[in-house]
Amino acid sequence: MVALVEPTALTLSLTDEHLALQDMVRKFAQKEIAPIATEFDESGDFPLDTIRKMGAMGLMGIEVPESYGGAGMDTLAYVLTMIEVAKADASHSTIVSVNNSLYCHAILKFGTEAQKQQFLVPVASGEKIGAYSLTEPMSGSDAGTMQSRAVLNDAGTHYIINGRKSWVTSGPVADLVVLFTMTEPEKKHKGVSAFLIDARQPGFIRGKKEPKLGIRASATSEIVYENYACPVENMLGKPGDGFKIAMAVLDAGRIGIASQALGIAEAAYAASVQYARERQAFGEAIGSFQMIQQKIADMKTRIEASRQLIYNAVLAKERSKVTGDRYTLEASMAKLFASETAAYVTDEAVQIHGGMGYSKELPVERYYRDARITRIYEGTSEIQRMVIARQELGLR
């Protein structure tokens, strides 16, 4: 088990274990993922081979105790992994994020012992792929309007689930899913319940694969449920707990997406610095021009500010393991600022590269496309601002 710091400490530092993990993930990502990133971006295929390798390395269940198939590490270890993977390819980091933050974290925090053995162990160990399903075609940020339904059968043994879910990351390949659906629609968001779904059972139908702008190798699809019979023992939490579970899990997920955004920004920044040193114009390197220097300075400053907000969220999450307090504010601030930074840095990277930044010959245009989703999924930037303001104003 990697110790972070005392839960009440106000600072954090990278231990030798953290540094070793960071080095291991960086080397793997640059050797195994970076060379295939363009190919999988173009094809949109799911990179199963490298995901399996990361599973064997313990990266698909980083914070899950070893007794449940995970690596038994901490939030900082997860953040460092996400950054290094995202620097090589955002698609791979999306898969890692969903597996760790949204799927494994949900079951680890809210699951029974039997549920952990059946649904957590195989995913945390990398044997199977997990997914998280909240969004519907007409229900995104407002979960209280979802149209899918779970109705308890007359025998009281199964919930019969019907409905259509959209934007399910890893949906085309997922073996197991954390599903949120209505059990008491008259209660709106208080009527949402969570279920653990086995994709092999009848009534689980994979829908169309989404043709996305970015993170194209992190396969995303609709999932249709047609009279899917889910055993009552596979409900996660109690009836009506779904919205509470979803929001708690998204706190963790937002730290992951903030880290992904930081990784994308770092990759775009590194490419820009190298290009500014090498590209000649008017007889000198473009890095000698003040306007390019301003861009570099602003990019670097925003990147480091993002890192500190993410580290602040890491500390808040680690403290929560002892205090039980939510870390919504810290996670939302980190996600908002890092995603906006990724958008800014990748846009400036394209500008610094000029015509080459617009060409698929270099990965800069992929960074630009991949960064765009970080302001949308797991809570849009608008939602983050609302969450932050409501927290500060005491409007729970």
Q: Which of 222, 318, 340, 378 is catalytic?
A: 378
Task: Give the C-alpha separation, 269 to 99, whole Å.
Answer: 27
378 is catalytic: yes
Phi, psi dihedral angles at 374 (to 5 degrees): -65, -20
**91 with 216: CB under 8 angstroms?**
yes
Task: Give the C-alpha separation, 314 to 307, whole Å.
Answer: 10
Query: Which residues, in sequence order, are CB contacts of 238 under 8 Å at separation 6+?
Result: 193
Q: Residue-wise over 105-142: b if at least 16 C-beta within 10 A, else e?
A: bbbbebbbeebbebbbbbbbbbebbbbbbbbbeebbee
Residue 31, both tokens: 């050797």
**284 with 293: CB under 8 angstroms?**
no
Query: Which residues, in sequence order, are CB contacts of 358 under 8 Å at separation 6+?
Result: 350, 365
Helix H or strand E segment including 176:
strand 176-182
Query: Which residues, in sequence order, are CB contacts of 320 under 8 Å at separation 6+?
Result: 326, 327
Q: Which residues belong to the active site?
A: 378
